[in-house]
């Protein structure tokens, strides 16, 4: 599919596990740099804890896309919209390495094939568990589904609250960022796009 990042399709996009020892050394240096003593009781195990945290929060780099889908694409005679709403996610902003989190809504128009329900949240999780920007994460989810499922269209809407703007910088704790990626029928057909937005709006009003 034109424009699709080749790394999304590779099983070995980032095959090496996190170097936890190196991470721990780096965290100790950060603690020293801000004027703390990494050997005091409360901080003694902080480098180890932070290394484990980053290993968990970046595990999306090490997911095998083929195994993630795991033959969970099925031939079904259904061509109306499929929508999975309110998929909770948490990611790390690549600019400040602070969390952003929220919900993703993913819809597609089947073209003779559907994907197992649990796989869509797992796809969101795979891309969220990386250093990210919300805009790129949104398009990566859409392009991944377009490539592997070959539907008539895909729509991804992501809502996110970013700690980098909530607790630093402009310090606006109630701001929410919304991004969308429309592919195929969702981009070409305004009625299909309006149907999706109406479903999402109705859900928010409930």
Residue 206's alpha-carbon distances to 13, 114, 161, 201, in angstroms, are 41, 28, 21, 9
Query: If you average pLDDT over residues 160-179, what whole number do you get?
Result: 91
Could you tell me which of 142, 141, 115, 148 has the C-alpha nearest to residue 127?
141
Domains annotated for the chain, with CATH where assigned, are 6-10+65-205 (3.30.1130.10), 20-57 (1.10.286.10)
Total-model pTM: 0.88
Active site residues: 93-96, 134, 162, 164
Question: Considering only 5-9, 99-103, 131-135, which range has the smallest mean pLDDT?
Answer: 5-9
- The answer to whether 166 and 109 are in contact (CB under 8 A) is no
pLDDT at 203: 62
Helix or strand run (H / E) with residue 153: strand 153-162
Query: If you average pLDDT over residues 86-102, what whole number do you get?
Result: 97
């Amino acid at each position: 599919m034109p424009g699709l990042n080749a790394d999304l399709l590779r099983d070995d996009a980032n095959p090496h596990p996190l170097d936890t020892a190196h991470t721990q050394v780096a965290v100790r240096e950060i603690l020293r740099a801000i004027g703390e003593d990494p050997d005091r009781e409360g901080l003694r195990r902080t480098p180890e804890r932070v290394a484990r945290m980053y290993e968990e929060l970046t595990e999306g780099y090490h997911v095998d896309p083929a195994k993630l889908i795991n033959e969970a694409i099925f031939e079904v005679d259904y061509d109306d919209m499929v929508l999975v709403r309110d998929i909770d996610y948490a990611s790390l902003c690549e600019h400040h390495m602070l969390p952003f989190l929220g919900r993703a809504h993913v819809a597609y128009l089947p073209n003779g094939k559907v994907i197992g329900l649990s796989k869509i949240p797992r796809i969101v999780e795979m891309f969220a568990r990386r250093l990210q920007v919300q805009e790129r994460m949104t398009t990566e989810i859409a392009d991944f589904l377009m490539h592997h499922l070959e539907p008539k269209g895909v729509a991804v809407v992501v809502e996110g609250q970013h700690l980098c703007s909530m607790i630093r910088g402009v310090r606006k704790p109630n701001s929410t960022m919304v991004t969308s990626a429309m592919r195929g029928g969702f981009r070409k057909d305004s009625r299909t796009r309006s149907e999706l937005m109406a479903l999402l709006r109705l859900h928010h009003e409930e």
